[in-house]
Amino acid sequence: TCPANFDDSQRKATKTAGEIAGFNVLRIINEPTAAALAYGFGRKKAEKVVVYDFGGGTFDVTVLNVAPDTVEVLATGGEAHLGGEDFDQRIINWLIEQFKKEQGIDLSKDPLALQRVKEAAEKAKIELSSALETEINLPFISADSAGPKHLYYKINRAKFENLARDLIEKSIERVEKTLGETKFSKQDIDEVVLVGGTTLMPAVREQVQNFFGKEPNKSINPEEVVATGAAIQSEILRAQEEGRAPEGEIKSVLLLDVLPLSLGIETLGGINTQMIAKNTTIPTTKTQIFSTAADGQTSVEINVLQGERPMVAGNRSLGRFILDGIPPAPRGIPQVEVAFDVDANGIVTVKAKDKATQRSQSIRIEGSVGLSKEEVEKMKREAELHAEEDKRRRDLVEAKNLADNLIYTTEKTLREAGDKVSVETKKEITDRIEALKKVKDGDNIEEIKNKTQELSSAIQKVGAEMYQATQEKKPGGEEPKAEEGEYKEK
């Protein structure tokens, strides 16, 4: 199993680590999905479930449909730097501050003392899950000219909860956001399954209960549920491989997981053209046709991107490869088929094929270009923060691309038209082309759009004059005019 927001390379590394340890790794599944599988074991009806996974270092939230024969992930989210260690740190900071205030000694400067404080803080946090108050006693923690110093404080649950309340609230914000990516409201959720040691804290359970308006499910141990789900899935996969039914009460269950971040490729102007959106059910494939950006172009570079930002610069490049051997042709004519394939483990393969020659090239994303869980969440936050600015930049690039293409096709049309177009019309269109060329490299999107529209309107005259010239060259002059009359049914 792995955290829900692990990227391609991290999943590959997890699989490799299992194989190095001597395991036959059949599949990588997300921890919240494994938890949902364990929760659904033996249940007879379909339910909408939220898995609230608060571990030692990370926080995940996953919304799922759990049925007797299917576990389908609908959306996943979380925080890379939000877990039990952050709660420990709040107690550590409080102890250091109190000791410095009373003794004038900063324990954070002493690595040995700081390690003792960290261990004591974690122990206190665990004890406060079941006790209303606990003692923190660290004799001989430090010394000065007056002699040895001892650290002794009492901390109650209320004090600890006040120190860490914003961390719990932050997790609820992520729950609300992830729910918003589905069609469900919190009232639609049938069960909330808690996963991870941090969910043993009464304040965490209380906040979750207040948000959903129902008590979280306590039928399974939060610290064992992921391992239980993984064991169930292991037996299902092993049974499938051996062509038999799963043993005991276990039944075959179809797991449908999702991508944590969108996948796409770089296109003209530095645009991230998304191929597969985040929260798409995997395994999945997507194919799209692209073309060349210049005349006579014989190769294309495929830059595979991961992230939510519309421009390339705001996303992570997973890898690049080149498809060459494309027959020279005017831009826009060659057809390059790009196919994305994401397997059940979330591992990505990208293939590009020239439709004319059937030449192809592919890449399997390697581990050296992966994202950390922190980077995944950072990219999601940045996409939200810069959404308006990103849209403006993308709109500008698309307007420039449209202007460029219109200039290219108009000049080509004028050359091919020859004397079928009047000198006056040619001059008008040439003037419009020059006017568009002057503004297309600027940043005024409205001006670019206006000049593009003016040229687009003017080019209509070319078609009309070419059609008229063709009619005049026909033997006998004008074609007979259609006579007006009434249509009568027989």
Shortest CA distance to 348 belongs to which of 3, 4, 7, 6? 7
- 64 and 115 both lie in a single domain: yes
- From 350, 385, 420, the end of a domain falls on 385
- From 359, 385, 411, the end of a domain falls on 385
- 367 and 433 both lie in a single domain: no
- 419 and 293 both lie in a single domain: no
Q: Per the domain annotation, does 481 fall within a domain? A: no
- For residue 265, give Cα distances in angstroms to 223, 256, 286, 370: 40, 25, 12, 16
What pLDDT, on the 0 to 100 scale, is given for residue 368? 34
Could you give the number of structural domains in the chain?
3
Domain that holds residue 273: 263-385
32, 4 Cβ separation under 8 angstroms:
yes
Q: How far apart are CA 249 and CA 226, in angstroms?
A: 18
- 223 and 310 both lie in a single domain: no
What pLDDT, on the 0 to 100 scale, is given for residue 207? 95
395, 421 Cβ separation under 8 angstroms:
no
- 176 and 37 both lie in a single domain: yes
CATH of the domain at 4: 3.30.420.40
- Going 412 to 415 to 416 to 421, the CA torsion angle's sign is positive
Beta strands per DSSP E along 7-161:
47-54, 59-67, 70-79, 133-144, 147-156
Sheet holding 47-54, edge to edge: 191-195, 47-54, 59-67, 70-79, 254-258, 281-282
Q: How far apart are CA 458 and CA 307, in angstroms?
A: 40
Q: Per the domain annotation, does 61 fall within a domain? A: yes
Q: Per the domain annotation, does 490 fall within a domain? A: no
Question: What end-to-end distance do the CA atoms of the chain give, in Å?
Answer: 74
- From 256, 277, 296, the end of a domain falls on 256
Q: CA 200, 205, 206: angle at the middle one, nearest 5?
A: 140
Other C-beta atoms within 10 Å of 78: how many?
27
Q: Per the domain annotation, does 179 fall within a domain? A: yes
Q: Per the domain annotation, does 324 fall within a domain? A: yes
- 371 and 427 both lie in a single domain: no
CATH of the domain at 304: 2.60.34.10
Q: Per the domain annotation, does 486 fall within a domain? A: no
- 48 and 186 both lie in a single domain: yes
What pLDDT, on the 0 to 100 scale, is given for residue 483? 45
CATH of the domain at 435: 1.20.1270.10
Conformational region of residue 418, where left means phi above 0, alpha means psi within -120 to 50, and beta covers everything else: left
What pLDDT, on the 0 to 100 scale, is given for residue 467? 60
- 208 and 271 both lie in a single domain: no
- 146 and 270 both lie in a single domain: no
- 186 and 164 both lie in a single domain: yes
Shortest CA distance to 318 belongs to which of 352, 368, 281, 276? 368
Sheet holding 348-354, edge to edge: 284-290, 336-342, 348-354, 360-364
Q: How far apart are CA 440 and CA 434, in angstroms?
A: 10
What pLDDT, on the 0 to 100 scale, is given for residue 375? 62
Question: Which distant-in-sequence residues (6+ apart) come within 8 Å of 78 by Cβ?
Answer: 3, 4, 5, 53, 58, 59, 60, 61, 174, 178, 377
Q: Per the domain annotation, does 479 fall within a domain? A: no
Q: Tokens standing for 141?
A: 């923690």
- For residue 231, give Cα distances in angstroms to 70, 196, 283: 16, 17, 21
Q: Per the domain annotation, does 480 fall within a domain? A: no
- 10 and 109 both lie in a single domain: yes
- 99 and 212 both lie in a single domain: yes
Residue-level pLDDT, tens digit, the chain, 490 residues: 887 767 667 777 888 888 888 888 888 888 888 888 888 877 778 899 999 999 888 888 999 988 887 888 898 888 877 889 999 999 999 999 999 999 999 999 999 999 999 999 999 999 999 999 999 999 999 988 888 999 999 999 999 999 999 999 999 999 999 999 888 899 999 999 999 899 999 999 999 999 999 999 878 888 888 999 889 888 888 888 888 878 877 777 777 788 878 899 998 888 899 999 888 888 899 999 998 888 888 888 889 988 888 888 878 888 888 888 888 888 888 899 999 998 877 778 899 999 888 888 877 664 333 455 566 666 667 767 777 777 787 788 788 888 888 888 888 878 877 777 788 888 888 888 888 888 888 888 888 888 888 888 887 777 666 666 666 655 554 544 444 444 444 4
DSSP letters, 205-272, are HHHHHHHHTSPPB-SS-TTTHHHHHHHHHHHHHHHHHHTSPPSTT----EEEEE-SS-EEEEETTTEE
